[in-house]
Amino acid sequence: MSDLFEPATFRTALQDWLAENDLTPPEDHSLQGHMRQFARVQKALYEGGWSRYGWPEHAGGLGGPAMLRAIVGEEVVGRRLAEPGPYSMLEVLAPTMIDYAPKELAAEMVPKLLSGEEQWCQGFSEPGSGSDLASLTTRAVKDAEGDRYIINGQKVWTSFAQYSHRCILLTRTGDADTPNHQAITAFFVDVDTPGITVRPLQTMHDVDEFCEVYFDDVVVDSSRMLGKPGDGWQLAMDLLPYERSTCFWQRIAYLHSRFDALIEAVKRQGQVVDSDLGEVYLALHTLRCRSVATQHRLAEGHKLGPDTSIDKVLLANAEQLLYDTARNLLPGVIELEDSDWRTEFLYSRAATIYGGTAEVQRNIIARRLLDLGKE
């Protein structure tokens, strides 16, 4: 089995398995269809063992280096068996559960995510708290007996909340005197708990990918706390680096597949493949090299931190350059046709927002990596 931990052997074995197991998606381009297909693919991968590699055994994984997860993501999303968006939630939320949930809870829940039995969401942003996340106001108050919390407030931009069974939720538990960064506590909340209302929001690319989520006297058991009271800020600081790097390993493969499709489309139009495409290739390749370096740092046991803001800036640049170039080289396809290119061009505008905006990433790079002080 340990031979399989060797990345090249693993990739070949997975490719053989994918050739024998037809997971071709049905012709359903709705978000609901994508979510169904993602669950189907995850179930098959889990039963075959593939989605368990790279995750620790105590959380239902089969062990091995985290790089194996990148290979699965690349092979699955690069072939468009699953869409990159839903897939990315695995990499954002599972590491946090493994690091912060009580051991038994992680052992019970993480396999549900890896096997596609459940989808989870991330309840961080609020109407007044996005970049300034520490100002969040959703409040969790301990009840008189002290073994439950009552949660009130609102989250927004919560991706896939309408399909989710659980939510990793940031709340404020400290009082007015508690410094912001010690006043935040995270919970693992069942989305079907009474008092939770989920309202999908439509993006400009016409998909209701994210939601408003309201909490009205929602009762959550203390055993669902992630870490200790006041650990929520540190949890967020540990989760966001995954959202800014490992979560789009598979997206990079997807962008490369779209780059290949762009070259084909340009050639079909009888145009010359010119230096604009060369620039896109360089941006994608730079991103991939950076991503490989991040994978190696993880494999060597480094903790991911502010350096992942570089990965995020490179992703957003490469993605937007790819679709800007598609817009220039395929006249009218984005403006006039109801095409995949149009949907993807519009969605690419979000790349400089989700996971922390481009400006915020540059602030982190300036202050924390280059030591340039406050702006």
Ligand X SMILES: Cc1cc2nc3c(=O)[nH]c(=O)nc-3n(C[C@H](O)[C@H](O)[C@H](O)COP(=O)(O)OP(=O)(O)OC[C@H]3O[C@@H](n4cnc5c(N)ncnc54)[C@H](O)[C@@H]3O)c2cc1C
* Interacting residues toward ligand X by CB under 6 A: 121-125, 130-131, 157-159, 210, 350, 353-354, 356-357, 359-360, 363
User: Cβ 127 to ligand X, closest distance in Å?
Assistant: 8
Please, which residue, 21 or 317, has the CB nearer to ligand X? 317
d(CA 209, CA 159): 6
Q: Write down the least CB distance from residue 18 to ligand X, Å.
A: 28
Nearest-CB residue to ligand X?
130
Nearer to ligand X, 50 or 163 (CB): 163
Strand 120-123 versus strand 166-172 pairing type? parallel
As measured in angstroms, the least distance from the Cβ of 365 to ligand X is 12
Partners of 221 in beta bridges: 148
Task: Tell the smallest beta-carbon distance from residue 256 to ligand X (Å).
Answer: 21
Instruction: Evaluate the CA torsion angle 260, 48, 59, 3 in order and state its sign.
Output: negative
Question: Rounded to whole angstroms, how far apart are CA atoms 128 and 136?
Answer: 7
